[in-house]
Structure 1
Amino acid sequence: ARAVYGTTSPDFSIDIQPVAVSSILQNADDTSLRPPAGPLLLPGTVYALYAAAVIIIIILAVLIRLIVKWPVICKARREKKLLRSYARNAKDLFRQLRRLEKNGPRITDGEFCAELQRLIRRYLDFRYGYHFSTVLTSQFMAAFDDVTAGTLSDKKQHAAETLTAVMSRTDYIRYAHDSIDSKRLPAGQYEAKLGGTEREQLLAMTRGAADSFEEVQ
């Protein structure tokens, strides 16, 4: 072949040698390309993948169960929180009863009974979410039936009757002072006065009733 540039002929010539393309398989025994091989894995990688898959399945199962049980869990948390608030309410009652017992010698029977009634009513107001503070003593048992729909256990029923008895006795001490009934005989039965250890008995009855109400069944 002769290279020509423009109109001037060069003084040399370029000879291009023939080019032969050899197959990469001509020196091998293979007559066809091998199928592609998968990526090489490090030792233990397969087991790690299996473990990861199991963990993911477990997590998904837990999440699904949590979603299904979430309303029940929320209800249980609310009930637990409510029980703690009930316990604080009872604890406050017991503290106030101890204070009332210590102040006993410095206050009259009427003042003692009025304060005891106030503590009982306040405790029941919170414990049952019912306006016991405005309920007449004669309607106490009806109020318990109303707020619990008659579902009180025998022990709690007895506690309600005990508090009603405490309220009735303290009502008499408060309002029968110098009344005709308070002059009747025998004096130990009709006198509008707390005798002997009656204050301690009323406090003990109140504590016992509150303990029964707070008992979880």
Structure 2
Amino acid sequence: MVEDRLSAAAQDYLKVVWNAGEWSDRPLTVKALAERLSLTAGTVSEGVRRLADAGLLDHQPYGAITLTEAGRREALAVVRRHRLVETLLVRTFGYSWDQVHEEAEVLEHAISDELVRRIDAHLQHPTHDPHGDPIPTADGEITIPQAHRLSDLATGDCGVVTRVSDSDSELLQRLEAVGMLPGCHVRVTERVDSSELMTVTRVDHDGADGGAAVPFGLAALRAVWLVPG
């Protein structure tokens, strides 16, 4: 039941810790967590201490913040609700993929476990949300693909878009406008490190270019993840 859950603030802490490590192995510090939560370091330090006392986080002074097994289960439950809600809003209510994140941020704390189960069944048990992020199962299982940031690739490299961060709505709109969505095969046609620009084009099934080459800043493409191939 919703009433039996952790507070929304505690859920946010655990989800952000999970998200920080989902696609990166960089240690998460109190300062970095505070930036992600838009809170002061002092507030976050106290929140981390309380969650550590509750057995949900591990944290040594000045060390990295990590989830305990119990914390991981709680975090993945929130991630599951968030990503199922995003999928529901796109598939059933006609939201675009750049509109759903904020709505899901609210609803993930409000819906019951039974409603989550029914949403999952209604959507026929989706495995990924509209941004390509894997949806944890009800048992807390999740499969993270071996993907690389598009910004790390070199000229001539190819891959299939597997995930796009939902934090930048303008980038999502631009990617949708040029057809670069999860499942799309793309090729890096040019990389210019001196100007931090990369030109990318979609690739058809036969290997031919499927659209015009589109320039992006490398900083923006750090939000796009590809499975090489």
User: Structure 1 or 2: larger strand share?
Assistant: 2
Normalising TM by the smaller chain, what interval?
Answer: under 0.3
Specify the structure having the higher radius of gyration (Cα).
Answer: 1
TM-score, reference length from structure 2: 0.23
More helix by percentage:
1
